[in-house]
Structure 1
Amino acid sequence: MNQAVDYIIVGAGSAGCVLANRLSENGKHSVCLLEAGPPDSNLWIHIPIGYGRTMFDKHVNWGFYTDPEPNMLGRRIYWPRGKTLGGSSSINGLIYIRGQRQDYDHWAELGNPGWGWDDCLPYFRKLEHNDLGPGPTRGTDGPLYASSIRARHELVEAFIQSAEANGIPRTDDFNTGDQEGVGYYQLTTHGGWRCSSAVAYLKPARGRSNLEVITRAQATRVVLQNRRATAVEYRVGGQMRTLRANREVILCAGALLSPQLLQLSGLGPADLLRRHGAPVVLDLPGVGENLQDHLQLRLIYEVSKPITNNDQLRSLWGRARMGLQWLLFRSGPLAIGINQGALFCRALPESDRPDVQFHLGTLSADLAGARVHDFSGCTYSVCQLRPESRGHVRIQSPDPLQPPSMRPNYLDAELDRRTAIAAVRLARRIADTEPMKPLMKREYRPGPDARSDDEILHFCREHGATIFHPTGTARMGVRTDPMAVVDHHMKVHGVDGLRVVDGSVMPTLVSGNTNVPIIMMAERAAEFILTDAGRAPVPQEVAH
C-alpha cells in the first residue's frame, strides 16, 4: 500500500463511492477509500428485500442506539447505519426520492450559493438512469437506476384510490421538484438486484490502478498540521496505520461518524473536546449540533384478505414461491421490498406544500426488520418531512471505537407534535375510505382507544422510531455563522485540505429519503474538488 495518496476518502457509503469513482476517473490522481466495514459480499445486501436480514446484522450494520429520549418516554431508539461498501445505500429501503424544489432553494437562501433546485437538477439528472424515460427533470444515462414498480398490488391500489378520494392526485413521478401526490415509489434496483452506490459507482472503478479500497479500516483521527489536514490514522487488522494526503482528506462517514471524527481530531466545541480529553485545534461549535431526523410513526392494520407479505412469509410454500419468482424471473416481493405505496401530502391546513410522507408497507411487524405478525397485516408508515426539533452528536470519550452520544430530541418542537397528531389522523382517514376500508379488518396499532390528541401523541412517543435519515451535524453555511461547519464547497471552515461530503452538511433535512440527495451532493463535490485540483498546485508542505 502507498504511504501517501492525493485524496483520502473516509467512508464508502452513498457519497464515498461516488467520490472514489469520480476522483479516480481521469487517471491523474491517486485515491484511497477507507471503509470500516467488510466488502458487500453478503447476498442479502443485493436482494432488495434483504434489508430485513441486514437490519440487525452487526457485520454490516453499526447498530447504534440513541441516548434515552425524554420526549419518547425515555426510550433508546435503534439507529441502523450501513457498515460495508455502499454504506447505508446497501441496507436501506431502496426508495428513490429527491425532495422538493423549496428544500434546495432554502439552502441557497441560507447563504449557500449554487445549491438551489435549478443548480442541483443537472446533477440529479447526471446520476440517474430512470426507466420512465427522458424528460425535463429526468436522466437516463447515469449509473444509479430509478426503477418503477410494474406489478400492481391490491392493497397499494386501494390505498391510491382512497387517497384520491381524499383529494390527493395520482402521480407516477415524485421527483420533479413538486412531490404532492400518491402512487408507487421508484426504487434503486435494476433487474431484480439492489443498486447501491457501491454497485453503481464503486464496482466500475475497482480495476483502476490509481484507486485503492481498504475495507475493515476504521479511521480514528485526521492528522492536522498548522490547521491543514495532512493524513488519516486508521485501524486495520488490530494495527494502527497512517496514510498521508497530498491534496485532501474527505470525510464521508455520515451524519453520526463524520462529526465524531472531526471532534476526535480537535475540531468542534472546545468545551466538549476538553471535557473528554480531545485536543482543541479549532473551536467549531457547530460540529455535531443541528441533528435532524425523520420520526417514523407506524400504524398497523390487520387485513381482511390473505394478500400481504405476512401471509407469504409465514408459510413454507409462500416463501418458496417468493424465492422461485426471484430466481426464475427476478420479480416478486424479493425484487421489490416492502414499501411500495407512496404518498406526499399536507397534513396541516396551513401548509402550502406536502409536510408528510407515507410508505405503505405490504407487511407488518412490531419493528422494521423484525419478525412479521401472525395475521395478514399492512403498515402505514408516516413521517413529518421538515421537523423543527434539533439534537446533537457528541463524543463521550477520546476512544474512537466508542460510539458517540446521539440525541435527536424527537417531538421537541410544538410544530412537530401537531404534525404527528395530524399525520396519524390522516392515515386513519385514508384507511377508513373506500376501497381501503373493507380491507382494514382492525387497527392493531395504535388501536381504537387512542382517540384524543393526547392519546395519539402518547402513541407517537411510545412507538415512534427513526426512518433512517439523520442529517445536519456539520452543516453548510457562511463563515460568519458560528454554527456553520463547512462552506458551500463543503470545505471545513478554518482548515485547509479537509472537506465533509455526506448528509451531515445538509443545513436542513430534505423532504423525503436522503440517499439520492446525498449522491447528488457527492457528484457536485467531485466537480468542486477536481476544479480546485486543476488550478492549485500540491501544497509544498505535503508534497514530499
Structure 2
Amino acid sequence: MNTYKSLQFLLLAYLATARGDTFDYVIAGGGTAGLVIANRLSERSDITVAVIEAGDDVRQDPGVQSIDFLFANFNASINYQYPSVTGPELGSRNLTYRAGKALGGTSAINGMVYIRGDKAQYDAWEKLGNKGWNWNSVFSYYKLGERFIAPSSAQIEVGATYDASVHGDSGPLDNGFPFIISNGSFYDKARATWESLGLGPITDLNGGDPRGFVAAPQTLDPEAGVREDSARAYYTPAEARTNLKVIKGTVKRITWASGSGKQAVATGFEYVSPSGAIIKVGARKEVVISASAYRSPLILEASGVGNPKILKKLGIPTKVNLPGVGESMQDHNIVAMTYNLSNNITGRIGYATMPTAQDVFGSKTSSLAASTFKKLRSWAKALSATSDGAISPSAIERRFRIQHDLIFNKNITIAELFPTNTGDGGLLEQFWTSMPFSWGSVHLSSRDNIEVPSITANLLSTDFDLDMLTAVGRLSQKAYATAPLTDLIADNSSPGYTKLPLDASDEQWATFLKANALNALHVVGSCAMLPKELGGVVDSDVKVHGTRNVRVVDASIIPMQLSGHTMAPVYGVAEMAADRIKASWK
C-alpha cells in the first residue's frame, strides 16, 4: 500500500511538472517584441523557435481589427490590468497599468500611434554605456521593419505630410494614415493656432526632430482599414514555418543548469498550461524574455535573478545578484481635458503637437535649468532611498544629468498634446510630459504569483515634474482659447473653467493634477539596458548580466523615456536585438 501511494505520488508529481519539447530558442511572450524576435530567428530553417504566450490569437477579432480606437472599448479578456500601490503624491489613488493579453501583445489593443522620438534621446543610450545603440543604428532598423504607405492627395490636404527618406517601404509592418482622418475643419484651425503660438507645422514626426504640429501616422493598413499589430505583421508571414511553434501558456520562471560558475546557464522555461499543469520546455541555445515591462522583471525575480533583499523576502534563493531588476520604471505623465464643440468634427483627429522646454517655459527656461540642475543630487538620493539603495544615488544622478542635458541643452521635445474626437460632439485633449524624473518600480508580489506585480508608480514625486506638467497643461488650455481654434470650441466641460480657469494659480493646478494625473501606459526601463553599476539589467547585446544565455527584449530594456509612443521604439529595438542575437551564431 505504501509502495503504491509512493508510486502514485511520483506519477502526480511527474504530471504536474511534465517536460515539453526542446527548441534552440524559447521566447517568453508573443507580444510586440516577442513576435519580431520569433520571425527573425526562424528565418533560418535549421533554427527551431518556440513562443510561449498566455493570450489568444485575436487576429480575426473585429474589435482588434477596427481602427476606430476608443479607450472605452478596452476588452478586459485581452487586457492585463495591474493596479499600482497607492502613493501620497496622487492623493492615495490607485493607478491601473494595462498590457495586451493576446498574440501581438499591446500592439493588438493600443491606439496604434507611431512616433519614434528625438534623435538625441537615442544617442544618449550610447552615452550611458550601450555601445552601438544610437539614433543612426536604431533608425536603420526602423526602416528595415516598416512598410510605409504614402498618404493620398485627400489625406495630404488635411495634414498627412511625410518625408519618404525617413521611412521604409518593404518591411513587414504597415504604417500610414487612416482614410477617415479628420476633415479640414479641425486641421486648418489647429495648424493656424499652433503656428501663432510658435509651434508651426512640420513634415514628418519620425525623422528624429519631432518639434511642431503634424499628423501622426498609425500602425494600420489603410487599404484594408484594419489594425496592423505584431501578430498580423510578423507572425502571419511566418506561421507556416515548421521550425516555429506557438505554445499556449504562462511562463513562470527560467530553469537553470546545475553546477556553479561565473555565469548562470538557462536550460529553458517552466510555464503553466491552460489546464494548470506545470510544464518545462527546453532551450538548447538561449531563452528570450519578452513578457512586457511589467512581467519580464517578475520572471527574472521568480528565477532568482534580482535584488537579494527582495528575493530573500520572497523566499527565493539568489541565482544572480542583480539589484536593478524591476527598478527604473518610467512612464509619461498624462492628463486629459474635455471640450464641447460648437461644430461637430467628422472623421478621426490624429494630430500631435510636440513642444520643447523653451516652448513650454519661455523666458523662465534658463533659470529653471539652473535651479533644477542643483536638485539632481537630492532627487537621486530620494529615489535611491525608495528602493532601499538598489541603485546608488551616484548612478541615478549620472543618469539624471544626461536626462537634464537632453531637456535643457539638447532641446528635445518634452511633451505631447494629442486631441481625440469623442464622436458625441466632444473633444478629448490629452497632454503628457515625456521625460519625468519620477521613476517607479515593479516587483514580484509573492513567490508563485506571476499574475500580480507589485507596482509603485511614484508619479509626480519631484517638484519639477509637477511644474512641467502644469506648464504643458497651461499651454494646452491656451491653445484651445486661441483663435481660430476657438471657432470650434463651445466650452471646457471637464474640469471646467470654474474649477480650473485660464488664469489658475500654481496651487489650483497642483490640486487638479494630483487628483487627475494618470500613467500614460508607455512604461519602459524596468530591465534597463545599462552597465550593471548604473542599475542595468541587460548589456548592449540584450543579455542579462551574470548569465550566459538569457536575453530580454521588450519595452523594459529601453533605458530612458522617449518622446515617442513606446510601441514604435519597441519595434526598432526588437529588430536590432534580433540581429544582435543572430550575430552570436557566427
Which TM-score bucket, shorter chain as reference? 0.7 to 0.9
Unaligned runs of at least 5 residues, structure 2: 1-18, 151-161, 366-407
CA contact (8 A) 1:149 1:185 kept: no
Structure-2 change in CA distance of 1:54 and 1:279 (3 Å): farther
Hey, which of these two has a bigger chunk of helix by percent?
2
Question: For 2:182 and 2:439, how far apart are their aligned partners in 1?
Answer: 39
> By how many angstroms is 1:471 displaced?
0.8
CA contact (8 A) 2:326 2:526 kept: yes
CA contact (8 A) 1:44 1:51 kept: no
Choose which of 220, 242, 245 in structure 2 pairs with 1:212: 245
Residue in structure 2 matched with residue 539 of structure 1 by the alignment: none
Report the TM-score, using the length of structure 1 for normalisation. Answer: 0.88
Verify: 1:221 aligned to 2:240, yes or no.
Answer: no
Residue in structure 1 matched with residue 513 of structure 2 by the alignment: 460
Residue in structure 2 matched with residue 317 of structure 1 by the alignment: none
Question: For 1:485 and 1:51, how far apart are their aligned partners in 2?
Answer: 35
Verify: 1:343 aligned to 2:353, yes or no.
Answer: yes
Verify: 1:136 aligned to 2:136, yes or no.
Answer: no
Verify: 1:48 aligned to 2:100, yes or no.
Answer: no
Verify: 1:408 aligned to 2:457, yes or no.
Answer: yes
> By how many angstroms is 1:407 displaced?
1.1
Choose which of 270, 275, 294 in structure 2 pairs with 1:233: 270
Question: For 1:177 and 1:492, how far apart are their aligned partners in 2?
Answer: 29
Question: For 1:204 and 1:2, how far apart are their aligned partners in 2?
Answer: 26
> By how many angstroms is 1:353 displaced?
3.0
Verify: 1:356 aligned to 2:369, yes or no.
Answer: no
SS of equivalent residue, structure 2 residue 236: helix
Equivalent positions of 1:136-175 (< 5 A) are 136-149=165-178, 151-153=181-183, 154-175=185-206
> By how many angstroms is 1:37 displaced?
0.9
Verify: 1:111 aligned to 2:129, yes or no.
Answer: yes
Structure 1 runs of 4+ off > 6 angstroms? none
CA contact (8 A) 2:69 2:111 kept: no
Question: For 2:134 and 2:80, how far apart are their aligned partners in 1?
Answer: 33
Question: For 2:482 and 2:72, how far apart are their aligned partners in 1?
Answer: 34
Question: For 1:218 and 1:307, how far apart are their aligned partners in 2?
Answer: 44
Structure-2 change in CA distance of 1:482 and 1:306 (3 Å): closer
SS of equivalent residue, structure 2 residue 417: strand
- Supply the AA of the counterpart residue of 1:299: M
Structure-2 change in CA distance of 1:134 and 1:341 (3 Å): closer
**Superimposed CA distance per residue, residues 354-380 of structure 1 (whole angstroms, 9 cap, x where no aligned partner):** 2111111111xxxxxxxx8xx621011
Question: For 1:173 and 1:482, how far apart are their aligned partners in 2?
Answer: 34
- Supply the AA of the counterpart residue of 2:412: R
Verify: 1:377 aligned to 2:426, yes or no.
Answer: yes
- Supply the AA of the counterpart residue of 2:276: G
- Supply the AA of the counterpart residue of 2:579: E
Structure-2 change in CA distance of 1:152 and 1:58 (3 Å): closer
**Superimposed CA distance per residue, residues 13-68 of structure 1 (whole angstroms, 9 cap, x where no aligned partner):** 1100101100001212000001111111422111112554652x232111111111
CA contact (8 A) 1:155 1:362 kept: no
Question: For 1:270 and 1:54, how far apart are their aligned partners in 2?
Answer: 41
Deviates more, 1:176-185 or 1:158-167: 158-167
Verify: 1:18 aligned to 2:36, yes or no.
Answer: yes
Choose which of 548, 554, 573 in structure 2 pairs with 1:502: 554
SS of equivalent residue, structure 1 residue 48: coil
Question: For 1:400 and 1:233, how far apart are their aligned partners in 2?
Answer: 14
Residue in structure 1 matched with residue 487 of structure 2 by the alignment: 438
- Supply the AA of the counterpart residue of 1:12: G
Equivalent positions of 1:385-534 (< 5 A) are 385-448=434-497, 449-450=499-500, 451-479=504-532, 481=533, 483-533=535-585
CA contact (8 A) 1:130 1:138 kept: yes
Question: For 1:446 and 1:458, how far apart are their aligned partners in 2?
Answer: 12
- Supply the AA of the counterpart residue of 1:528: R
- Supply the AA of the counterpart residue of 1:258: S
Question: For 1:72 and 1:156, how far apart are their aligned partners in 2?
Answer: 35
Question: For 2:187 and 2:290, how far apart are their aligned partners in 1?
Answer: 36
Residue in structure 2 matched with residue 311 of structure 1 by the alignment: none
- Supply the AA of the counterpart residue of 1:360: P
Deviates more, 1:420-429 or 1:400-409: 400-409
CA contact (8 A) 1:149 1:184 kept: no
- Supply the AA of the counterpart residue of 2:251: A
Residue in structure 2 matched with residue 302 of structure 1 by the alignment: 340
Question: For 1:393 and 1:490, how far apart are their aligned partners in 2?
Answer: 19
CA contact (8 A) 1:223 1:230 kept: yes
SS of equivalent residue, structure 1 residue 348: helix
- Supply the AA of the counterpart residue of 2:63: W
RMSD of equivalent CA atoms: 1.7
> By how many angstroms is 1:440 displaced?
1.6
CA contact (8 A) 2:287 2:549 kept: yes
Structure-2 change in CA distance of 1:24 and 1:2 (3 Å): farther
> By how many angstroms is 1:134 displaced?
7.1
Instruction: State the identity %.
Output: 31
SS of equivalent residue, structure 2 residue 428: strand
SS of equivalent residue, structure 1 residue 95: coil
Deviates more, 1:152-161 or 1:438-447: 152-161
**Superimposed CA distance per residue, residues 242-295 of structure 1 (whole angstroms, 9 cap, x where no aligned partner):** 001000000000110000110011001101011011221111100000000011
Structure-2 change in CA distance of 1:51 and 1:30 (3 Å): farther
> By how many angstroms is 1:408 displaced?
1.9
- Supply the AA of the counterpart residue of 1:467: A
The count of corresponding residues between Structure 1 and Structure 2 is 493
> By how many angstroms is 1:424 displaced?
0.7
Residue in structure 1 matched with residue 216 of structure 2 by the alignment: 185
CA contact (8 A) 2:444 2:450 kept: no
> By how many angstroms is 1:434 displaced?
0.9
Deviates more, 1:184-193 or 1:457-466: 457-466
Verify: 1:62 aligned to 2:75, yes or no.
Answer: no
CA contact (8 A) 1:51 1:92 kept: no
Question: For 1:218 and 1:417, how far apart are their aligned partners in 2?
Answer: 38
Question: For 2:91 and 2:295, how far apart are their aligned partners in 1?
Answer: 26
CA contact (8 A) 2:163 2:203 kept: no
